[in-house]
Each structure stands twice: as C-alpha cells, then as structure tokens.
Structure 1
Amino acid sequence: MKIGEILRSGTFSVSFEFFPPKTEEGERELFETIRNLEHISPTFVSVTYGAGGSTRDRTKRVVEKIHRETNLTVMAHLTCIAHSKQEILNILEEYRNIGIENILALRGDMPKNLEPPADACKYAYELVMLIRENFKEAFSIGVASYPEGHPESPNMEWEIRYFKKKVSAGADFSITQMFFVNEYYYRFVELCQKEGVYIPIIPGIMPITNFKQVSKFASMCGATIPDELIKKLEPYADNQEETTKIGVEFAIRQCEDLLENGVPGLHFYTLNKSKATIQIYEAIKDRIEALRKVEL
C-alpha cells in the first residue's frame, strides 16, 4: 500500500525504522525484532540506506525480505548525493519490479574518499523531481524534515524554503529527524502551514536506551536534549537498565503530549531493538487504538 494514500485517508500512523545489519547474526536479530513488533500492525516500516555498494545491497536485501516474508508495508530509504541519475533510476526500477511502492527520498552524505558524480542530484528535492518525472505515481514519496533545522541550514526561514521545494516537487509526507522538545515540532508545523505546506509531518521518536549513543546522534543532527533529562541520565550513563527506564518514561510523556496535539502518527527509531518501543507503545496503546477505531 502507498503510505501517502493511507495518510491522506486520515489514518493514524504508527511506524518503525530499521537499519540493514552488517552480519548474518545481526539480520537474524533484526527479523526477531520485526516479529516482536508485527503484532502492533504498524502502518509501515522503513529501512535506512547506505550509499556504498555493500551497504546499498544490504538495504535492498532487507527491504525485499520484509516485503516477501511479512505482511508489512515497507518503505526503502534512498540517498542521492553519491549516485548518478542513471544509478538512481536503476535502483528505483529494481524496487518497482520487487513490488515496493514507497520511497523516502534523501540527499544523504558523501561516503569518505568519494566525489559525487557530475550529474548527481545535489538536493533531496531534485531526487523527488527525478522520481516523479520518471515514475509518475508508481511510488509514494516521503522526505525528511528537521524541526530544529538541518545542521547545514543557517536559519529556519532557509529550512522551510527547502522543505517547501521538496513538497512542491511531489513529496506526499514527511518524517522528522528525532527531537526531544515537542515545541520545536509544533513550531515547525506552524511555519510550514504559514507557507501553505500541509502534507502530513510525522514526528520521529528516539527512545533513549544508550545515553552516549543517542547523545552522539543528537550532536550530529542538532537535536536538543533537555537539560533536565540529561541530569537524570548522566548518573546512569553506564547502567543500561536504568537508562532505558528513564528514556522510556520520557518518551511516553513526549508521545502523550504529541497525541494530545493531534499529530498524524508516530515514527519510532528502533535501532533494531523492540523492547523499549513495545514498552512505549503499551503505555499509549489505548489512545492510539481509539484513534484508529475513529478512522475506521
């Protein structure tokens, strides 16, 4: 099913993001996670993308396996900066032949020691245009959004301008970068609507189970971790059980507030683990199931 059509129908979305493992054991653990989460009946799941040859192939293999061996709707991430346009078209043709109908169109970062091809799409909106020009409505296209601004954006005016370009090029919906302060999300949506942008913008939720790891992610993408949360987590930096407990409790409160404010869905960055995500879902399940029943 096409995610854009599902969201346009008003269906509340619950979705999960995975990354392609590097080993057979990692892949086994990933599909165990998928089985653990499948009972939630997610609207879709997504698989991240590495631009290098081996990581690219792992993404395709995992996407195809989820598509063939489960009943889940799967979305393939696709970055463009390291590929020629013909390479992108070949990848998309492969996905269409498999039966994949959903793409998350991203610029991505150049792998080290590589130069972008001369005709590479330099921005995500160019990738969206390339998909629409060559595949029309064969794919539902999602794009990324950055409630606190992309690390390369000088200000939010610039951020909204480029986000609007992605929407004008044909994006159906967006998933945000992880954030921990909901006010940034609400402000971003408000700024978009002032510019006439009304596509569904799904909040990206990162349960904190490893403080050092998430702090690194947050630093890279410019996401603010509240001081109050940092103070709670720092004493337990080497205690994963206590870190997970604090992180899950925070994510539950964050999701409850987002639900109260009418978000179109929740997208969980799982890091290929299911325990924390299930704990969060169980705590807010009644509210989500009520929303889904209303839409039915």
Structure 2
Amino acid sequence: MSTDTHRLPIYSVELFPPKTSEGMAKLKREIDRLSAVGPRYFSVTYGAGGTTRERTFETVDWLRSQGIDTAPHLACIGSTRDEVREILARYRDQGMRRLVALRGDMPSGMGSGHGGDFRYANELVTFVRSEFGDAFFIEVAAYPEYHPQSRNPAQDLENFKRKVDAGADGAITQYFYNADAYFGFLESCHKVGIDLPIIPGIMPITNYTQLARFSDACGAEIPRWVRRRLEGYGDDVESIRAFGHEVVASLCRQLIDGGAPGLHFYTMNQSKPVVRLWEELGLPTPG
C-alpha cells in the first residue's frame, strides 16, 4: 500500500553526492535554483561503501535540514541485511517516506564472491516490505529500451514485474529520447498486469561526449539523427545545448500529452538546463 497521498503528475529531480566540500557548496547553490521551481522531491544517488556512501548521507541530511522532501537511492548489491536495515531505520527516523530501491553495481575492488545478501532489486523490495511494512513509498528502475544486461526485452519485463510484485509503488525509467519506446513499454507492462505509475527519466543534453559515453554504458539509445546533428556541432557548446534543449523539450511535450504521470529530471547537478525546461514546459511552480 502506498504512503504517498499526493496526486500525480509528479515532477522531480535527481542529484548525485559531490566528492569534495567545494562540490557540496556548489551543489547547495544549484539546489537553491532548483527549489525555486518546486520539484515534488529531490532524489539522491547512492554510493556503496566507505566515504562515497557517507557523501550520500551528508547530501540527504542537508536536504532534510532545509525541509526539502528527499528520496534517497538505496543500492543493495554488496550489502548485508544488517547494513541495509540500519540505513532504512536511519531514513525512517529522519522522516523520509520515499525510497528508490536499486540493485546497483558492485563496489570497486570487491570481487564476485562478496556480493552481500542481495542479488537483485526485487529482493531488496521484499526486504524493505518485510522489515518496514508501508513506511516507505518504494520506487524502482524501469528500462523502456531494456537493461543492457538482459538477454531480451521479454526477460527484462519479467525482471521488472518481479520488482512490482515484491511491493514497489512506482517506477522511474532510464533516460531515453524516443517517446515511442516509453509508450511501447507501457503497453507491454499492461499486457502482463503491471499497473503502477512509471515516470519517464529525462536527461538534458548539454555535453555530447559525456552523453555518448553514458548512453553506451547504460544501453540508452541516442536516435541516429540526433547523434549525427550533435556530432556535426563539434566543439560548438552553445549549438549543442540549444539543439539538445529543443530535442528534450519536444520529448517532454510528447510524454506529457501522452499522459505520462510526471517527469524525473537527471540534473547532473546542473540547475540551468532543468529550470529552462521546467519554465518552457509550464510545469507547476510554487505560488
């Protein structure tokens, strides 16, 4: 049962924890600019183990101290049940009611023999529900173009359904640039009885080299015509950003017009591209 009483659509943003004090100071300024447009919540990505995880806690703690609704990511691979239980209790006691539950990647330097107590995200969702009941609104990952480690879309859909059946309340997708991929994925979900809000993940285009590297790693397709246009701009940063904005704004309009239950922006800790999209799309703002 969901603990989220707020109506859809939900428009939210994602941050990653900075590695330095200087980065944290910069991120706080970006958060101030993002807060001005009124995201429903800020999610914070999770670094497994050591100082990386502590940076996640630091970022989450600061957001909560500012009264900002926060959804921490929790990746389970490489973790024990006791470790995850401790983190969840901490978040619950801080008043957090939303959680993004993920498998995650094996921490650097940790071999396959040290995978912890969890193998897949559905096991994490099951654990959260068994230990904490309905304390959290749990969101999981979805892949409209299917996860790069899946053999095919059918297997990926089965994996997604396991997370839903384990007790997920909603899902956020990997980013994509083809609206048909998203709507086709929704149709496939409905055919197997998946009925929960699946919010599109939106990645602004500001740096083609970085985007191409991310996309090749995570399996997100950059349409050929978009890739060719971006390649053609070379080092012309302003043209890349202007064209990228047009592509993403058009995608967002298609998704909203098609009935998407919200948008989740991958900010890469940069407020300007997201605020520009937010304002141009006429998304809800405070006041």
TM-score range, shorter chain: over 0.9
Q: Counterpart of 2:212 in structure 1: which amino acid?
A: S
Deviation at 1:50, TM superposition (A): 0.9
What does 1:198-213 correspond to in 2, within 5 Å?
A: 198-213=195-210
The separation in 2 between residues aligned to 1:128 and 1:134, in whole angstroms, is 10
Deviation at 1:139, TM superposition (A): 1.1
1:14, 1:267 within 8 Å by CA — same for their partners in 2?
A: yes
Structure 1, gaps ≥5 residues long: none
Which residue number in structure 2 is paired with residue 120 of structure 1?
117
Work out whether 1:244 is the aligned partner of 2:235: no
What does 1:170-181 correspond to in 2, within 5 Å?
A: 170-181=167-178
**TM-score normalised to structure 2 length:** 0.95
Which residue number in structure 2 is paired with residue 5 of structure 1?
4
Tell me, what secondary structure is at the counterpart of 1:142? Answer: strand
Q: Counterpart of 1:22 in structure 2: which amino acid?
A: K
Residues 180-234 of structure 1, C-alpha deviation per residue, up to 9 Å, x if partnerless? 1111111111101111111100000000101000111111111110111112111
Deviation at 1:72, TM superposition (A): 2.2
2:2, 2:134 within 8 Å by CA — same for their partners in 1?
A: no
Which residue number in structure 2 is paired with residue 92 of structure 1?
88
Q: 1:177 to 1:267 in 2, by over 3 A?
A: same
Q: Counterpart of 1:5 in structure 2: which amino acid?
A: D
Q: Counterpart of 1:113 in structure 2: which amino acid?
A: G
Q: 1:48 aligns with which of 45, 48, 72?
A: 45
| Deviating more after overlay: 230-239 vs 198-207 | 230-239
- Please give the root-mean-square deviation of Cα atoms over the aligned residues, in Å: 1.9
Q: 1:257 aligns with which of 248, 254, 266?
A: 254
1:200, 1:264 within 8 Å by CA — same for their partners in 2?
A: yes
Tell me, what secondary structure is at the counterpart of 1:268? Answer: strand
Q: Counterpart of 1:102 in structure 2: which amino acid?
A: R
1:3, 1:102 within 8 Å by CA — same for their partners in 2?
A: no
Deviation at 1:163, TM superposition (A): 0.6
Residues 253-278 of structure 1, C-alpha deviation per residue, up to 9 Å, x if partnerless? 00011111000000000000011111
| Deviating more after overlay: 182-191 vs 116-125 | 116-125
Deviation at 1:140, TM superposition (A): 1.0
| Deviating more after overlay: 183-192 vs 235-244 | 235-244
Work out whether 1:230 is the aligned partner of 2:227: yes
The separation in 2 between residues aligned to 1:237 and 1:270, in whole angstroms, is 23
The separation in 1 between residues aligned to 2:26 and 2:2, in whole angstroms, is 26
2:3, 2:134 within 8 Å by CA — same for their partners in 1?
A: no
- The number of residues matched between the two structures is 286
Which residue number in structure 1 is paired with residue 16 of structure 2?
19
Deviation at 1:4, TM superposition (A): 5.8
Q: 1:47 to 1:237 in 2, by over 3 A?
A: farther
Deviation at 1:3, TM superposition (A): 8.1
**TM-score normalised to structure 1 length:** 0.92
State the identity %. 42
